[in-house]
Structure 1
Amino acid sequence: MPTTSYAIAIGSNRRGRHGAPEREVAAAIRALGGVVAASGIVASAPLGPSIRRFANAAVLIQTRETPPELLARLKRIERDFGRRRGQRWGARVIDLDIVLWSAGSWAEDDLIVPHPAFRTRRFVLDPLLGIAAAWRDPLTNSTVRQLAHRAQAVDRRPRRP
């Protein structure tokens, strides 16, 4: 396979062997290899039942791996960091998700690229905006910049009591 690029979202909200969540994210960036751009680390509120805030970042990597090969490597890194399968959206030492792939889209039972939920998640879009603002979602043809702007507008809408 030729070299392609991937956008990877990284998150942590639990201490691990590297320390606080921010240090876990930084260590994961180093463990990935092939990183050509990395965002800063930002804090975000948790989704679901977790009460701990997350440290989030995004990176662009280049590799010859297919999406399933990369997913298998990301899962190995998560296990090496101490991630255990458990409650959905619960506390985790590290979470690594394939968000976008330069070759387009991919769909299998256990892997969908682009990530189905990334278009509305500011904790993914905000870090990605700094390193891949012009990258187009192959399914909507919207850029990361456009998606981030929409997500920000939704967050600013008044809430009903």
Structure 2
Amino acid sequence: MGTTTYAIALGANRPTRHGRPAAAIALALDRIGGVVAASSTIETPPLGPSIRRFANAAALIESDEPPPVLLARLKRIERALGRRPGRRWGARPIDLDIVLWSGGRHATRALTIPHREWHRRRFVLAPLAEIAPGWRDPDSGRTVRQLLTEVDRRRPRT
């Protein structure tokens, strides 16, 4: 397998010995390596039962690892930065998800690319649109920028 580009979504909402959530994102980017582009870090409201706001970012990385190998490495980085198994959508020191890859689709029991919910989540789309606005969803053919516009349009205006 040659070099592949992956879009990684990063999120954190719990301070750790490494610092505030934004610091955890910066440290995770450093440990992931192969970063060719990284978005700014944005603050977003929690999803699910957590009460803490999230720091979210996205990165494009290049790697010669196939998706399952990269996923295993990302999980090791999460554990090294203090992530433990727990409640879905609960507070977490770091969350690293493979959202897209230049290989199109990948589906196993352990990993589905594109990520099942990425195109519905502003906290993934906004940072990703900053660094890869023209990347097309292999399912719908829409660009990241178009998907972000659709998500923003569905949000009620107050």
Trace 1:135-150 onto structure 2 (pairs within 5 A): 135-150=135-150
1:110, distance to aligned residue in structure 2 (A): 1.1
Count of residues in correspondence between the two structures: 158
What residue in structure 2 maps to residue 75 of structure 1?
Answer: 75
Per-residue CA deviation, residues 73-126 of structure 1 (Å, 9 max, x unaligned), is 000000000100100000000000000000100000010000000001000000
What residue in structure 2 maps to residue 33 of structure 1?
Answer: 33
What residue in structure 2 maps to residue 53 of structure 1?
Answer: 53
Question: Helix, strand or coil: the match of 1:87?
Answer: coil
Trace 1:58-137 onto structure 2 (pairs within 5 A): 58-137=58-137
Question: Helix, strand or coil: the match of 2:155?
Answer: helix
Unaligned runs of 5+ in 1: none
Q: Distance in 2 between matches of 1:91 and 1:42?
A: 17
What residue in structure 2 maps to residue 18 of structure 1?
Answer: 18
Q: Distance in 2 between matches of 1:157 and 1:18?
A: 37
Q: TM-score, normalised by structure 1?
A: 0.96
RMSD: 0.9
What residue in structure 1 maps to residue 7 of structure 2?
Answer: 7
Deviation larger for 32-41 or 148-157 = 148-157
Unaligned runs of 5+ in 2: none
1:157, distance to aligned residue in structure 2 (A): 5.2
Q: Distance in 2 between matches of 1:92 and 1:140?
A: 31
- The amino acid that maps onto 2:124 is V
Q: TM-score, normalised by structure 2?
A: 0.98
Q: Distance in 2 between matches of 1:86 and 1:39?
A: 27
Q: 4+ runs of 1 displaced by more than 2 Å?
A: none
